[in-house]
Chain A
Amino acid sequence: MAADGHLLSLEGLSREFAIRRGLAVRRFPAVDGATLSLPSSPHEILALAGESGSGKTTLARMILGLTWPSSGRILFKGRDVTLLGGRERRSWFRHEVQPVFQDPYATFNPLRTVDAYLSATARNFRVAARSERESRIDDALQAVGMSLRDVRGRYPNELSGGQLQRVSIARALITRPSLLVADEPVSMLDASLRMSIVNLFRGLRERQSVLYITHDLATAYYAADRVAVMLRGWIVEQGPVEKVLGEPRHPYTQVLKSSVLEPDPASRSGGRIAVSVSETDDFLRGGCRFAARCPQVMDVCRATVPGDAVVDGRVVKCHLYANGGTDG
């Protein structure tokens, strides 16, 4: 177990992409100074929420080792994963951190049976002796409410979307990871199937921690213990889900929450919401990246980047809480 008691901690993690405008090349920070951690115990579901283009997926790809950070550190069980050699990355890190993908219909090879896909995963990761592989796979399928008998010899088109997403979660469980990174795992599923998968993640917390990436605040509130809200590469508010989504403090989180369409005609409301014309402008502007749309914008917001402040049990990156914000 890690010396500092964290399963995962991100320290000032950043990733820049270069964008060209005519002859000029500008640095575009897709993730900018992300600092975040998951405890070793108890297991936790941490939701990473934010609109499209907020950097959620880039952050997840860095945690999975699919995208290299430009700066900052990723510590997993106390070890800096960017410094791992290829062999250790394969034999240790990839067993410990597993992805669950967004689209179950696109994850599977339509010409291969589902059980062949699962046993290939078990073989590639050398999870057990050949004789025990089947029971490892069955164990993973049992954890998602299925069994090897349900999928043996069957092709992906013979399973429903909900079943396929269960199988794709089971695939991630074969190595018995300590962390699942699930990027929008229910956004492709129908309403009547969605909650059964979200409930599955709630149940899987017994086995390991989950980083649940979503733009759906209602399922984040329902499933997660803590939430980090991202905006244009920054984590603008993070803390327990009841605090951050229950009584949001950052103006952006407040806008997000009030935008959620509650399934209740009584909650209809008017009011226009500011929407940015171009995402890149927000990134390249000085000061706070929400300033152009913020209902509580001040002069200082357009000039300087806000710092992090602890307010009422959560961390908020906003000038409103710059002085004396520490009331909790």
Chain B
Amino acid sequence: MNLVAEATDLTAHYIVDAYGQKRTVRAVDGVSLAIRRDEVFGIAGESGCGKSTLLKALLGAITPPLTVRGGSVSYYVDRQRMDVLRMPEEDLRALRWRVVSYVPQGSMHVLNPVRRIRSTFRDFVQAHRQVGDRESDEMARRYLDGLGLPPKVLDSYPHQLSGGMRQRVTIALATILAPPLVLADEPTTALDVVMQRAVIGMLEQTRREAGGTLVLVTHDLGVHAHLAHRVAVLYAGQVVEEADANTLFERPLHPYTKHLIQSLPRIDDRARRVGIPGQPPALDAPPPGCRFHPRCPHAMAICRAEQPPMETVGPDHRVACFLVSGGAGDGG
């Protein structure tokens, strides 16, 4: 399989020392993902399920209190395998923006407020390419023009732009050097519907024109349905189901995925929807067995005792649930 990035049994915990009391928050617990070249890979899940932590680990941005307890993250670039978590910081920095770039959460607020967009583009481009101001400006102008953003954006300060326009500028910054891997954390959250649609159109366009893989982290299943080729659903720090987008939305198998998709309201349909009872567990004391069992309407005895294994149930479809793997007996 033609992979661009891979996480193997990745376990990353926050180790917090609060008033002499050690607390371990198991934000990412044994996650394995194989991310392919030129695909949009979605990571879905609610707040506090470890999405952003997983993305940080994929980026190799591990700073205390976040600690990697096990597993590995690899990039496959320039015909080599790179062990991201065991790489010197300088080497990692050389990979950023050339190989992997990042659109942070709340990226509406990451632009320097006292510099024009033009200068920010110069910083980004000149840090990685040997080009002068004029060349860098021309590159930025042509890139923005291709994405349908007016050239006057370059002369503006961030506060003069609307929120959605700022968000699109940050995406343009992350993609202008056409890295093979772009990681985006909630790129459409806090935008209204029209702007969301515009940002999604832009993410799709940059990928179509320059190729590359987009790893898209968002809680919004509507965004995954429109953009992702494959989606992994995270619950309490673990992957519970992974499938191509059509299968995931049409034939989900994990009770959590099913419930999440069924609870979404749709225009033209006022049939009653219900939320999932209970709430996601605190990650410093996750429940034993399957982490979804306290909220699961189908929970069996084995679900309370053992963690369900990840089973492959079809091409590109994996699920971790005893209902699927038939755990009523001895877990076989």
Contact = CB atoms under 8 A, between A and B. Distances in A.
Size category of the binding interface on chain B? 35 or more
Contacts of A191: 46, 219, 221, 260, 263-264
B268 A221 contact: yes
B44 to A, nearest CB: 9
A261 B249 contact: no
Contact of A192 (B148, B246, B276): B276
Most buried by A among B222, B223, B245, B274: B222
B142 interface: no
Nearest to A246: B268
A222 B275 CA distance: 14
A327 interface: no
Interface in B89-140: none
A218 B267 contact: yes
Interface string B265-281: 11110101111100110
Contact of A263 (B152, B192, B197, B222): B222
Given A218-B266, A221-B265, A261 B197 contact: yes
Contact of B193 (A221, A256, A264): A256
A219 interface: yes
A265 B245 contact: yes
Given A218-B266, A265-B249, A51 B279 contact: no
B200 interface: yes
B201 interface: yes
A299 interface: no
A198 B161 CA distance: 33
B162 interface: yes
Interface in A259-299: 259-268, 270-273, 275-279
A64 interface: no
B169 to A, nearest CB: 11
A199 B272 contact: yes
Interface in B242-274: 245-246, 249, 259-261, 263-268, 270, 272-274
B86 interface: no
A190 B192 contact: no
A91 interface: no
Contact of B249 (A161, A196, A260, A263): A263
B82 interface: no
Interface in B201-237: 201, 204, 219-223, 225-226
Interface of A: 50-53, 160-162, 190-199, 215-219, 221-222, 245-246, 255-268, 270-273, 275-279
12 contacts: A52-B191, A162-B279, A192-B46, A221-B267, A222-B273, A260-B222, A261-B193, A261-B222, A267-B226, A268-B225, A275-B195, A279-B162
Given A161-B279, A191-B46, 18 more contacts: A50-B192, A52-B192, A191-B219, A192-B275, A199-B274, A258-B197, A259-B194, A260-B267, A262-B225, A268-B226, A272-B198, A273-B197, A275-B194, A275-B195, A277-B153, A277-B161, A278-B160, A278-B161
